[in-house]
C-alpha cells in the first residue's frame, strides 16, 4: 500500500466507526425505528453500506423519498432513545485505538469531526475513555456547519478554527460520506475498516471514493503514522 510521505500538522478523526465502534449500534437503532413505523425493506447490511456517516435527518430524508413515508416530528427523539438504550451494551472497543490516538498526538494536533449529535459524540468518547485526549472546543459535530458530510463544511470549519491549511491535514474516516467530505476539502484521508461489522467490500469502496490507504487494524495505522510523521 503506497502512502505519500507528507507530514501533517493536524490529524482529524471521525468518531462513530473510527474511534468508537458505534456505527453498527446507530444503524441498528435506525432499522429498529423503521420497523416500528412498518418500513421493513431495509436491513442492517443495507444501512451499513448506505447510511453510515450520514446525519439522521439526511437518512430519513432519503428513506422518505424512496418510500413516500412521512416521518413524525418526534422521529429524531425516538431514534436517540433507541441509541441511548443500546449504548449500555452495544458500544464496542476498537483494539489499540488508545495507543493510536496517543501516537497521533505526539506528532500533530488532533481533533474530532463527526456528523453525530453532540451529546452522543461526547458520551461515546467518554464511554470509550477517549474524551480526555481531545479539547472539547475542537470536537466538531453535525449542527456546527450548514451542511454535514459528505459536504466538506465541517472539515473546513475545523481547518479554519485550527488555522491549518487543508493540505497539511490528515483525516481518518470509516464512511463513504466522510471520505467524500475530506476529499472535497482537499485533505488527505485514510479509510479505517476495522470495526466488528464493516461490510466486506468497504475498503475497496473507500479507496475508490478517495482514500489514499485503508486499514483494518489500529496497529497498522500507528505504523503508518510513525512512518510519515518521522520522515
Confidence at residue 14, expressed as pLDDT on a 0 to 100 scale:
97
> Which stretches within the chain are classed as H helix?
23-36, 44-50, 56-67, 75-90, 97-107, 118-127, 153-162, 176-184, 202-209, 218-229
Confidence at residue 212, expressed as pLDDT on a 0 to 100 scale:
96
Do 146 and 206 belong together in one domain? yes
Joined together, the cell numbers standing for residue 159 give 481547518
Q: Are the C-beta atoms of 113 and 155 separated by less than 8 Å?
A: yes
Domain termination site, one of 59, 90, 121? 90
Do 126 and 173 belong together in one domain? yes
Structural domain of residue 110, as residue ranges?
Answer: 10-22+92-229
> Which stretches within 5-74 are classed as H helix?
23-36, 44-50, 56-67
Do 162 and 218 belong together in one domain? yes
In a domain, 2, yes or no: no
Confidence at residue 158, expressed as pLDDT on a 0 to 100 scale:
98
Do 45 and 134 belong together in one domain? no
Phi, psi at residue 136, to the nearest 5°? Answer: -60, -25
Do 100 and 205 belong together in one domain? yes
CA distance 213 to 215: 7
Domain total in the chain: 2
Confidence at residue 221, expressed as pLDDT on a 0 to 100 scale:
97
Counting as low any pLDDT under 70, the low residues of the chain are 1-6, 196-200, 231
Joined together, the cell numbers standing for residue 215 give 486499514
Confidence at residue 65, expressed as pLDDT on a 0 to 100 scale:
97
User: Among positive and negative, which fits the CA dihedral 37, 38, 39, 40?
Assistant: positive
Strand bridging mode 169-173 / 188-192:
parallel
Confidence at residue 200, expressed as pLDDT on a 0 to 100 scale:
65
Q: What is the CA 119 to chain-centroid distance, rounded?
A: 15
In a domain, 5, yes or no: no
Confidence at residue 2, expressed as pLDDT on a 0 to 100 scale:
47
Domain termination site, one of 48, 73, 90? 90
Q: CA-CA distances (angstroms) from residue 167 to 19, 37, 107, 130, 156?
A: 23, 45, 16, 26, 11
pTM for this prediction: 0.84
Do 117 and 220 belong together in one domain? yes
Do 121 and 176 belong together in one domain? yes
Do 31 and 113 belong together in one domain? no
Amino acid at each position: 500500500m503506497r502512502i505519500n510521505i507528507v507530514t501533517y500538522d493536524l490529524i482529524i478523526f471521525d468518531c462513530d466507526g473510527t474511534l468508537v465502534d458505534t456505527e453498527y449500534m446507530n444503524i441498528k437503532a435506525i432499522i429498529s425505528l423503521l420497523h416500528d413505523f412498518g418500513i421493513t425493506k431495509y436491513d442492517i447490511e443495507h444501512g451499513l453500506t448506505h447510511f453510515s456517516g450520514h446525519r439522521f435527518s439526511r437518512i430519513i430524508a432519503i428513506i422518505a423519498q424512496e418510500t413516500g413515508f412521512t416521518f413524525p416530528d418526534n422521529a429524531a427523539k425516538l431514534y436517540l432513545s433507541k441509541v441511548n438504550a443500546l449504548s449500555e451494551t452495544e458500544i464496542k472497543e476498537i483494539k489499540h485505538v488508545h495507543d493510536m490516538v496517543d501516537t497521533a498526538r505526539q506528532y500533530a494536533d488532533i481533533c474530532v469531526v463527526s456528523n453525530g449529535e453532540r451529546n452522543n459524540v461526547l458520551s461515546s468518547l467518554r464511554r470509550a475513555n477517549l474524551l480526555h485526549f481531545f479539547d472539547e472546543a475542537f470536537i466538531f459535530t453535525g449542527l456546527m456547519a450548514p451542511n454535514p458530510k459528505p459536504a466538506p463544511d465541517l472539515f473546513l470549519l475545523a481547518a479554519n478554527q485550527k488555522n491549518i491549511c487543508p493540505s497539511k491535514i490528515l483525516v481518518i474516516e470509516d464512511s463513504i460520506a466522510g471520505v467524500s467530505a475530506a476529499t472535497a476539502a482537499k485533505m488527505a484521508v485514510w479509510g479505517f475498516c476495522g470495526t466488528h461489522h464493516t461490510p466486506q467490500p468497504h475498503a475497496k469502496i473507500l479507496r475508490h471514493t478517495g482514500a489514499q490507504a485503508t486499514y483494518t487494524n489500529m496497529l497498522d495505522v500507528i505504523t503508518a503514522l510513525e512512518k510519515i510523521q518521522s520522515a
